[in-house]
Amino acid sequence: MSDRIRILLVDDQELIRVGFRLVLEAEPDLAVIGDAADGAEAIRLAAALRPDVVLMDIRMPGIDGIAATASIVGDLPETRVLVLTTFDLDEYALGAIEAGASGFLLKDAQRHELSAAVRAVHRGDAILSPRVTRMLLDRMAPHLAAAPPDPHPAAQLTERERDVFLAIGRGMTNAEIAASLFLSESTVKTHVGRVLAKLDARDRVQAVILAHEWGLARP
């Protein structure tokens, strides 16, 4: 199991958890290590099991998915949260992304889309469509600074890291960045990690927001 992506399922409907478990465990590189019916149980299990990826429902009784996401990401920065929602542009899902989720997936997604999304967030990609990115930026616009700090934080990036940062800002995946810059995906992953560290960005989603905030990328 050490080579498999370890997943925690969180949804208040048992049938959905069972269905997702059947789909995910049919994949040789994925393993469901636990499931929770609410946010409080999700936080407890995440701390105990330290999953690679959490599939998180949003609208649950008690502690909802937004609060649970914030708690898990805050305590376990290496764990990625993929939000599950019933319809596109769910305000609750956007709230979870602001809380630290790496993206969201519709509950009626095809089985190959589910497994692909889990793999994507695990390798560090953000699951956000351009339309959702635009809405997220619009929502956060009142909170964004009018200008970047001086000196400009991006000035500390090497030329190659800046290229990667701009590509992240355009919503490109690691594979797309690798193809466009003629690099290996492992090299891109290394550059992404350095970019996030130098910019003090919590995750890839925040890097996208910074690129737009500083006028270095366009929707």
Domain spanning 5-127: which superfamily?
Response regulator (3.40.50.2300)
What residue spans in the chain does CATH classification 1.10.10.10 cover?
138-213
State the SS3 of the chain.
CCCCEEEEEECCCHHHHHHHHHHHHCCCCEEEEEEECCHHHHHHHHHHHCCCEEEEECCCCCCCHHHHHHHHHHHCCCCEEEEEECCCCCHHHHHHHHCCCCEEEECCCCHHHHHHHHHHHHCCCCECCHHHHHHHHHHHHHHCCCCCCCCCHHHHCCHHHHHHHHHHHCCCCHHHHHHHHCCCHHHHHHHHHHHHHHCCCCCHHHHHHHHHHCCCCCC
- Can you give the pLDDT at residue 72? 96
pLDDT in tens, 98-138: 888 888 888 888 888 899 989 988 988 877 766 666 677 77
pLDDT in tens, 147-206: 667 778 888 999 999 999 999 888 888 888 999 999 999 999 999 999 999 998 878 888
What residue spans in the chain does CATH classification 3.40.50.2300 cover?
5-127
CATH of 138-213, one of 1.10.10.10, 3.40.50.10800, 3.40.50.720, 3.40.30.10: 1.10.10.10
Average pLDDT of the residues of the chain: 86
